[in-house]
Structure 1
């Protein structure tokens, strides 16, 4: 929420709090004359001017209520989509496939924060050793993003999970725009069948996998990358390894 919007909303909330007091409720505001309402409004304005901290208190209260509402909503969304998140039958699974904690990541290869998050996630997996990572291809930043995800998914379908991991890592690190020449070079550099992968990119199987992931993201109200799902929590945005580790430990404690 922008500062001006918070101020306006906070003022409205402060008024609601004032009007919700027993003293204010003793008045029937609807029965007041125009002059009485004007006088009452002047009194309220004078009170807020003399006690501006009330507005800040109302803003803080409103933000706490909104955060609690969003957390409860996210918990419900994750619970309703848990099977598709953890066992869709097509998403790449890394880390420890038998780990006691599952971390799901929605990513876009052109997303700067996804690139920033990649070494942090790798650091977390290496340090912990008992986390199951699921990668969801969620291209939202234009045609270049879609092309990169199609290449990654086609690589997995044509050459398997190990080849996908190699292509995934290369795409995360690639700074240049993708085109047929660069994709062919990438595939050949990984000793993969470039012709088969490029031919599969526009297949119905690749399209369906991306469609299902997009539908899942919509069901979860995910609109940005990276977004992580850990336990019943939706974690929106970049997080360093140490913060992720704290959340993983909390999830383990909650599960025990």
Structure 2
């Protein structure tokens, strides 16, 4: 009688497959037993193909859970740089009970879509603090726009930055210095001083620090949000943002 495989029922085989690897040492099997094992597995899967999808779904669920926990750990480990870096624009309610951090790029279509959703969230909830982090990752035009926006903040202050941020998110033309100067002039800002500041070390350093933080947080796309202790990668509509904020409040 073979040591392991007489005809194996589906229930027994499923149980065997669920065991940890240490509980079944396949190296101890003869070639004939190994061949029979393979045949039994194949037959079982052919009769029950849904098992493959169930296994894939379970793996994906476990990977998502692991990624979510890793994100929580990364947010905790880098809380000061995320929530209190000393240079990123802070808006909404500075004393709000929930902080929403957004990493954005002005050439990102999903960032433009998210901009309206975030604005709606802030309009309907007066207890949210928002932090904007400039993360230009879509080429030189993105860098140019971020430099102009950051220079606006450094030269003209937070209110001017908010106005420039809104304008650049709504803007759909070519990103050039003359185009951004026109936006600044429309907003009654000092375009000459802003342009003179664009290539300064202070602006360069801010972009570099945010990029370094994004790398640490394994952020590879925009928009990316941090809400309290959770990282949200990608565009979210208002309803999902609302539900997440409500959940964080418990």
Contact 1:19–1:25 (Cα < 8 Å) also in 2: no
After TM superposition, the structure 1 stretch with the greater mean CA deviation from structure 2, 136-145 or 185-194, is 185-194
Deviation readout 1:180-204 (Å, 9 max, x if unpaired): 2112212211111111111111100
Q: Which residue of the partner structure matches residue 3 of structure 2?
A: none
Which of residues 220, 223, 247 in structure 2 aligns to 1:223? Answer: 220
CA distance in 1, matches of 2:19, 2:246: 43
SS at match of 1:184: helix
1:76-225 alignment, distance < 5 Å: 76-225=73-222
TM-score by length of 1: 0.88
TM-score by length of 2: 0.90
Listed as ranges, the gaps of 5+ residues in structure 1 are: 1-14
SS at match of 1:175: coil
Moved over 3 A (4+): 15-22, 24-28
Aligned length: 238
The alpha-carbon distance between structure 1 residues 193 and 25, as it changes in their structure 2 partners (threshold 3 A), is closer
The alpha-carbon distance between structure 1 residues 16 and 86, as it changes in their structure 2 partners (threshold 3 A), is farther
CA distance in 2, matches of 1:62, 1:178: 43
Residue 127 of structure 1, CA deviation: 0.4
Residue 27 of structure 1, CA deviation: 5.9
SS at match of 1:238: coil
After TM superposition, the structure 1 stretch with the greater mean CA deviation from structure 2, 207-216 or 242-251, is 242-251
CA distance in 2, matches of 1:206, 1:17: 60
Q: Which residue of the partner structure matches residue 58 of structure 1?
A: 55
SS at match of 1:94: strand
